[in-house]
């Protein structure tokens, strides 16, 4: 009997000393206080809090951020997806989701998420914005969509936001190298850095751009893409010098399709649209399908200059399907419809052009010569 009484007493004492279950508010407060200082511990606490209240969107976002810092990208992706389900208007969450998808190698998913994040707003954190746009640019560069990649980086240059990561991303686009930074040889990385710094200075309208390009040309005149990068830089200042650079690029590297497309534009502009079409058709056999809109727009412009609107319409309608947010294609298509007497269609394209132009910074960056200026949305102005 005494043994039983002692057992009951001990059990009662143990029950009295057992801590009360932590409330959601306690768990959430402790987790948030550890977000920066102890992400692993914060993740544990967030999981406990979310077990009690799974409808807490901020908790999923915070936990996703800490999982990302811990390089647990698959778990972070799942957390951000859950948070976005509960709060679908938060641009930073989409941006983080895109970063997770990038690290997991799901590049199409990453671009989709980043695009949604940009549309909603990536927030004021410069480091975060740089990281998101740089990853998007790298994905597009690997796909040889160099215009779209540079358009991702344009808004950063206008705000003076730069980093070594951005120099590399811009250099890859300027030299038209479809590689990841980690796949570059030491020499390639040196050239990419020089090209990136020179192109960044040119994009930012800085006086040192000319000297930077001259240094690049002096050291690596025959490196693939160097003459092309210099030619693109010169397009707005001296198109004769630019033309010489593109011709040098093609002499050194005859299958460099971006140079072919620029050369085709210049031929059309100088009154030889037939030669422009011939060069463009050659480039189309080499360029990736993703960039077909550039060639189609170039051929459409050539047909416009030849007074053949029906042929121009076919090419430009195909281009606008690929790049519906590119305002310059709508501009050229409007011209083609007007030449062809299709007034209602021309007015529709004019409205589309004006609407897209209103979203474009007048000082936005030149991307593909001849297609005008392009923003991060992919719009361009003639």
Q: What is the pLDDT of residues 111-128, one digit of tens each?
A: 999 999 999 999 999 999
| Percentage of the chain exceeding pLDDT 90 | 73
When pLDDT is cut at 50, 70 and 90, the band that residue 20 belongs to is low
Which tens digit of pLDDT belongs to each residue from 287-304? 888 889 999 999 999 999
Q: What is the pLDDT of residues 189-240, one digit of tens each?
A: 999 999 999 999 888 777 788 999 999 999 999 999 999 999 999 988 888 9
- Asked whether the predicted pLDDT for residue 170 surpasses 80, the reply is yes
Residue 22 has pLDDT above 90, yes or no: no
pLDDT of residue 375: 37
In the chain, residues under CATH classification 1.25.40.10 are 24-123
Span 297-328, pLDDT tens digits: 999 999 999 999 999 999 999 999 998 988 89
Residue 366: pLDDT over 50: no
Q: Around Cβ 19, how many Cβ atoms within 10 Å?
A: 5
**Using an 8 Å Cβ cutoff, are 245 and 230 in contact?**
yes
The whole-number average pLDDT for the span 1-29 is 61
Which CATH number is 24-123 given?
1.25.40.10
pLDDT tens digits, one per residue of 253-276? 999 999 999 999 999 988 999 999
Helix residue ranges, H only, the chain: 2-17, 24-33, 39-52, 57-69, 73-86, 91-103, 107-120, 126-142, 146-158, 164-174, 186-203, 209-219, 226-234, 239-252, 257-269, 273-284, 292-305, 309-322, 327-339, 343-358
Taking only the tens place, the pLDDT of each residue in 240-255 is: 999 999 999 999 999 9
Segment 94-121 shows an average pLDDT of 95
Q: How far is CA 10 from the centre of its chain?
A: 66
Categorize the per-residue pLDDT at 2 as very low, low, confident or very high, splitting at 50, 70 and 90: low
> Residue 369: pLDDT above 50?
no
> What's the pLDDT band for 188 if we cut at 50, 70, 90?
very high
What is the pLDDT, as a whole number, of residue 204? 78
């Amino acid at each position: 009997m005494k043994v039983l009484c002692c057992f009951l007493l001990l059990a009662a004492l143990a029950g009295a000393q057992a801590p009360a279950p932590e409330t959601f508010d306690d768990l959430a407060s402790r987790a948030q206080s550890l977000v920066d200082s102890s992400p692993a511990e914060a993740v544990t606490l967030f999981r406990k809090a979310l077990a009690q209240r799974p409808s807490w969107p901020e908790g999923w976002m915070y936990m996703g951020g800490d999982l990302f810092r811990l390089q647990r990208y698959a778990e972070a992706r799942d957390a951000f997806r859950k948070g976005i389900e509960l709060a679908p208007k938060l641009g930073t969450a989409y941006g983080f989701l895109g970063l997770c998808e990038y690290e997991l190698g799901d590049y199409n998913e990453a671009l989709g998420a980043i695009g949604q994040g940009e549309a909603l707003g990536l927030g004021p954190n410069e480091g975060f914005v740089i990281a998101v746009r740089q990853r998007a640019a790298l994905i597009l560069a690997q796909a040889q969509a160099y215009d779209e990649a540079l358009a991702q980086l344009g808004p950063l240059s206008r705000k003076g936001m730069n980093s070594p990561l951005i120099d590399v991303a811009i250099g890859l686009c300027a030299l038209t190298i479809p590689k990841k930074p980690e796949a570059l040889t030491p020499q390639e990385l040196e050239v990419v850095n020089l090209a990136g710094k020179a192109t960044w200075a040119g994009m930012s309208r800085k006086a040192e751009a000319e000297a930077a390009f001259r240094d690049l040309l002096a050291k690596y005149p025959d490196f693939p893409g160097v003459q092309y990068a210099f030619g693109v830089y010169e397009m707005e200042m001296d198109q004769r010098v630019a033309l010489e650079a593109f011709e040098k690029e093609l002499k050194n590297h005859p299958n460099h399709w971006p140079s072919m497309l620029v050369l085709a534009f210049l031929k059309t502009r100088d009154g030889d649209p037939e030669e422009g079409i011939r060069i463009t058709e050659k480039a189309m056999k080499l360029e990736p399908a993703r960039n077909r809109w550039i060639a189609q727009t170039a051929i459409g412009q050539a047909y416009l200059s030849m007074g053949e609107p029906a042929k121009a319409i076919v090419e430009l309608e195909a281009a606008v399907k690929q790049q519906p947010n590119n305002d310059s294609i709508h501009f050229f298509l409007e011209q083609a419809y007007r030449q062809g007497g299709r007034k209602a269609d021309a007015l529709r394209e004019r409205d589309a052009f004006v609407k897209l132009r209103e979203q474009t910074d007048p000082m936005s960056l030149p991307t593909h010569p001849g297609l005008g200026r392009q923003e991060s949305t992919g719009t361009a102005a003639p």
